[in-house]
Chains A and B, each alone.
Chain A
Amino acid sequence: MKAFLRKYWRVITSPSRYYSLGFLTLGGFTMGIIFWGGFNTAMEFTNTETFCVSCHENIYDELQQTIHFTNRSGVRAICSSCHVPHDWTDKIARKMQASKEVWAWVTGSISTPEKFEARRLALAQHEWARLKANDSLECRNCHEFSYMDFTRQSPRAVNMHSTALASGDKTCIDCHKGIAHRLPDMSDVHGF
């Protein structure tokens, strides 16, 4: 084993015998682009609606009844708009967490609507906690507070947004729960 490692260490550290420096640098550069592009393309594919819905069908039905799916202006949110951070490093962190969810899918821990209903509160709480911790970043990627026109909001919305939200006392998810999915049993949740 030690001899094996030493042999490879020698190959890596010794200068190239047959390939030119130009070939190695240009080749490395090209392969780097292909690898990096391929990696990001594959990762972006896991951010598409088609990919998400291939497993999460039931929840997609719920989304379709909400304003985040169909509305007057045709701007819409897909799963990853809200559930995956847009920033690259945070996205990688979330994708790594999601690998555990792949395991859950393989073992069928939520394989029926009944199992899903039983865990709906716990699952929702994960997302609420995540959004609370990052100050509802995924909401704010579209709904940016600095560009909100209070004169175009209802009096009730102005009241809340100009006080609790403006002061940073509350964040979007504190009030806007269940805006894209059905709510779980909320009897023990603050604010209900």
Chain B
Amino acid sequence: MLWIAWKMLVGNRVKYLGIIFGVLFAALLIAQQSSIFCGLMFLTVSQIRDVEGPAIWVMDKNVEFIDDIKPLPDTDLFRVKGVPGVDWAVRFYKGLARARMEEGDFHQMILLGLDDATLIGAPEGLFMGALSDLRKPDAVIMDDAGYKQIWPGEPFRLGRTFEMNDRRAVLVGITKASRTFQTFPIVYTRYSSAVLYAPRERKVLSFVLAQPRPGLAAEEVCQEITRQTGLQALTRDEFMEKTIRHFLAKTGIPVNFAITVLLGFIVGTAIAGQTFYLFTVENIRQFGALKAMGTSNWTILMMVLAQGAQVGVIGYGLGVGLAALFGWSSRGLTKLAFFMPWQVLVMTAIAVFLIVLLASLLSIRRVLVVDPAIVFRG
């Protein structure tokens, strides 16, 4: 009988495609908007992700997210180093600097200061220059997206100079880096240089990056650091989670995306539900005939649900596929943030399931109450 249900469904091409379109539209919108939302959230933690070596980030206890810098005194580095279970710890500067270019224009930049001795926190994607050149006087490395933003259309060239806080900076390397939420160029330099490029402040240490001794869990060492120093110590993953939670709770981004997702859900449900209902009404005499011939209500119910499931699976596959295609095709062409984790696929599947269920409910009610004697009425 499920085969008959399938034949009935595909036999009405226009309605069949209409229902699939409704589900497809909803799945596409939900998956695409959710992926852009995830992409944006991913951008907020890009600088934590790019610092791959240390497992622990230590910061002021009131820091809420990566850009919420509350400088520490330099002596906090030694306090962290003195905590049992800490293998090593280094300084890390993060701040904003205003750069004056050779052409006279100004650009806001994200300034990252790496430990002078170890250069821990250095970018992994250096493709022009050498990391060791960062030890030269006034040396800085810039991310390729920032370079293109400042010098659009110009080829990559090392040796360019600009000023930050009236101090000379020389470009010695260009690297790949994850895009940031603010989309400012990222400049890497040594910690000792960074504090000179930055506006003068009494305290300048942004973070202490630390590593637990081998065999110790980072979470336990974090608790020990907090207990002994009063500072906030988080694992890399915890810090990313905290940053994302901040953006979720304190900005309107989730609400805006939720509205779009909800809209997709409602419009998809409306299109699919209405078309499916019309399809059922058009076939009501056929359903009545099947009931008259001895098809039980349970079988009829299964038939309608099977029809709904079929369009749901196809609509979901096409919608998610198109969303993925959209993300893939836009990856180099636009600055669109797009990240489709498995959770988006699951959430979209649940939404599609609900759409199909809602769409089917109307039809189910209609076919279950239909009197099999309808077939005797001309």
* Chain A bound to chain B: no
